[in-house]
Structure 1
């Protein structure tokens, strides 16, 4: 029998209700709309990088909601482990990232381009699209662990990253190394280079690893406190 905390069980919970399935469909759907809209870009500006940045940027707004809901499920199962949920969330993000890549490539192929080399660095863009969505998803799981109400956690996945980007804009050097949107732009650039990947890794440590680590510690603390209160 599959235990509650396994990756497979968590993946089934991610699509276990009509609302959750609809959320995933809408997430991909808005990416498809964004891909279609890139046909309106000037022909000489349509490249795989510019199209992918728009598509993945839009998808990354809604995808964290999935992570929030998965993390909220842990609150309803105090004995469940965090790591299988994070692994399942990351697996979903990889699939969504690849879907975003496919939408971007299809949009560019259909619309065409007069840019000198519209498909430059396409391999790097494939990897970058996946990494962008994994980071977005981990922001969702981290805030889902930290904030008890899913609605507020979902709202926080938008307000906190974009708010940090806006607040740090006067200090561009800090903004580029500390905010998820800057990391997205760095790895989906025409040529990300080592600095782009390093920026993504730095932001992933802060908004992915650290955020979820703090959430997991606080969850364990709440669980221990609850057991102590029950015994008392």
Structure 2
């Protein structure tokens, strides 16, 4: 299992395109933190304000990595899903910690005049990591379900945001049924029991169920056996 996780981590940076995607994912967070520090009025500079936007932006390109990693299982005979998912989650954890670090650095370097700029910082930091994990699991789930990576990557944006838009008439229910709605709730730092229950429900729907369906589909996929080579007699 450890070998599979290690291979997954190496696979995330195997090609130049994937390395660029990793750099872009982390750079988006750093640039967002710097931009918020420079652009927001001092009275609005809080850890919650900065971290929410930083983590939401990181969660846009991060699932692309999950799509590519999971799609590799479709091409490898006998690929093990759980260790591969564990490797993808480790990358998401690193992205979450990076987002927290960018947010801390931006607020510490700012001239915030907010009454309590570090309010709920611990809860928000935990929420940031969990948000990235769920975003990554959306990517791995779609990578397992959709054969072409480009459509899987597009799906990580269109499907969650599309669901969030379509469920607008339901208001607060979007925090229970969509990753974007749930992320907004927990990254605010004051979600409470209802907010975290909503995030848990969303994680079960978009994280667990999506990947379970992908794993079942992968297991039922017929194995393509290459035809035997025909040697010509001389």
User: TM-score range, shorter-chain basis?
Assistant: over 0.9
Where does structure 1 differ by over 2 angstroms across 4 or more consecutive aligned residues? Answer: 225-228
Aligned length: 225
Residue 196 of structure 1, CA deviation: 2.0
**Equivalents in 1 of 2:219, 2:185: separation in Å?**
35
**Equivalents in 2 of 1:209, 1:112: separation in Å?**
42
Task: Map residues 51-70 of structure 1 onto 2, 5 A cutoff.
Answer: 51-70=50-69
Larger CA deviation: 188-197 vs 20-29 = 188-197
**Equivalents in 2 of 1:131, 1:160: separation in Å?**
19
Aligned pair partner of 1:25 in 10, 23, 26 = 23
- After TM superposition, the score normalised by the length of structure 1 is 0.93
Q: Which residue of 2 aligns with 1:226?
A: 223
Unaligned 5+ runs, structure 1: none
**Equivalents in 2 of 1:36, 1:219: separation in Å?**
42
Q: Which residue of 2 aligns with 1:115?
A: 114
Kept after mapping to 1: 8 A contact 2:123/2:189: no
**Equivalents in 2 of 1:153, 1:52: separation in Å?**
27
**Equivalents in 1 of 2:127, 2:199: separation in Å?**
9
Task: Map residues 1-232 of structure 1 onto 2, 5 A cutoff.
Answer: 6-39=4-37, 40-222=39-221, 225-226=222-223
Q: Which residue of 1 aligns with 2:230?
A: none
Deviations 1:18-62 (A, max 9, x none): 211111111011111111111211221111011001000100000
SS of structure 1 residue aligned to 2:174: helix
- After TM superposition, the score normalised by the length of structure 2 is 0.92
SS of structure 2 residue aligned to 1:61: coil
Bigger Rg over Cα: 2
**Equivalents in 2 of 1:173, 1:128: separation in Å?**
19
